[in-house]
Amino acid sequence: MSGGARAPGRAAGGFTLIEVMLATVLLAAGLGLAFATLGAASRSAARGEAIARDSERMRAVEGFLRARLSAARPVAFGLDPGSALPLRFVGEPERLRFVADLPDYLGRGGPYLHDFALVDDGDGVRMTLGLGMVLAGEVVEETAPRPPDTLVEGLRGARFRYRALDETGRLGPWLDRWPASDRLPLLVEATLVDRDGRAWPPLVVALPQAGAQIGEPMAVTP
pTM of the prediction? 0.73
141 is a domain residue = yes
Mean pLDDT of 148-162: 93
Q: How many domains does the chain have?
A: 1
7 is a domain residue = no
Confidence of residue 41 (pLDDT cuts 50, 70, 90): low
198 is a domain residue = yes
Amino acid 60: pLDDT: 85
With CA atoms as reference, report the closest residue to 200 among 116, 127, 114.
127
pLDDT, tens digit (0-9, with 9 covering 90-100), for 65-122: 999 999 999 999 999 988 889 999 999 999 999 999 987 666 567 899 999 999 998 8
Amino acid 216: pLDDT: 47
User: Could you tell me if 86 and 76 are in contact, meaning their C-beta atoms sit under 8 angstroms apart?
Assistant: yes
85 is a domain residue = yes
Owning domain of residue 75:
59-213
115 is a domain residue = yes
205 is a domain residue = yes
The enclosing H or E element of 118 equals strand 110-120
37 is a domain residue = no
User: Could you tell me if 184 and 72 are in contact, meaning their C-beta atoms sit under 8 angstroms apart?
Assistant: yes
Q: Mean pLDDT of all residues in the chain?
A: 82
Amino acid 121: pLDDT: 86
Q: Report how far residue 167's alpha carbon sits from residue 217's, in angstroms, rounded to the nearest whole number.
A: 11
The pLDDT > 70 percentage for the chain reads 78
- pLDDT tops 70 at residue 34: yes
How far does the chain reach from its first CA to its final CA, in angstroms? 116
Q: What does the DSSP 8-state code read for residue 142?
A: P
Q: Report how far residue 72's alpha carbon sits from residue 112's, in angstroms, rounded to the nearest whole number.
A: 10
33 is a domain residue = no
Among the ranges given (17-21, 125-129, 133-137), the one the predictor scored with the smallest mean pLDDT: 17-21
Mean pLDDT of 141-162: 89
